[in-house]
Structure 1
């Protein structure tokens, strides 16, 4: 059965999924890039995202590769797509990733402002959804057919789906980094009360990988 998943979502030790003050120079907020050291050196990340050879083939690499398995569509918050706020000034901004984003499947972006779909290289088409998380999920599931839908973030988007108990499985990589401020994933969420439990955990030098499932 198709699942709604969060994968390879990195948190700081103090629970933040991104640093403050996101902008073009700091796509993940100030200090946010330090969260992802566990992933950027892996063979999977270097091949799929950077188009390069080499990289580690350890537990971190296995979790990175696992995050892309059986994914038929993605859902992104607007902040994950770019730093632009308010109405789209024009059609020039097409994401952080260049002409060939790493998604390679239909990708649904939550926003309050209408925009025509953008067809990119490699099979990625960005669709802009203005009528909420449930509509985005319905459209993504239809596009994914029998495959899973992956919520890519950011923190606010993941929180909204958690609050509605819609996420079936969530892989978090907890990085040994303290950010102090930013966007906190679990603030105000009663995860056991929502029916979630820890199903798997494994530590590496650069992250503690935790899988949370909905009971």
Structure 2
């Protein structure tokens, strides 16, 4: 398993993988994509990640790997990197693409607007138990294509928000399209390993289909 290590919370994702007994490597060069069975695009700053992947010659190899079916999980900025369309991005911002989704960058507001809430996420193990979701300058998905499965939405009255119905209510914050998986929030900071386990299971299933 690889973790894209150009910028962002690489260590936290790596720790989650280690806790699940998964061997992982940092990916900073095109050659390090070889022989990977899965890749995590961590949270951070999507514009910086975009510029660095281009500067390091990673963008085209990453796009090719995604097109070839490599399982990829994008968290927060990683979700933006996987999106086909980005709203409120920088003028020259590019994405890797692959997921037929329209994502709004910094949709939940600035750093001071970061919050936590519980989400229903039926695809995870122990589906009856909600997952604690941490949103930090997070995007949300505004539109999904026909091949995209919605996995989680913000509840009508998210905890930590002002009284009344939040503008974020009902927004899509987790989705999957084939071997691509994305969340707006940061499961790597909570100690709950179920989101990473979901991705590891996706990777294993993809590997078994090829074998």
TM-score w.r.t. the length of structure 1 is 0.29
TM-score w.r.t. the length of structure 2 is 0.30
Bigger relative contact order, structure 1 or 2 (CA pairs below 8 A, ≥6 apart): 1
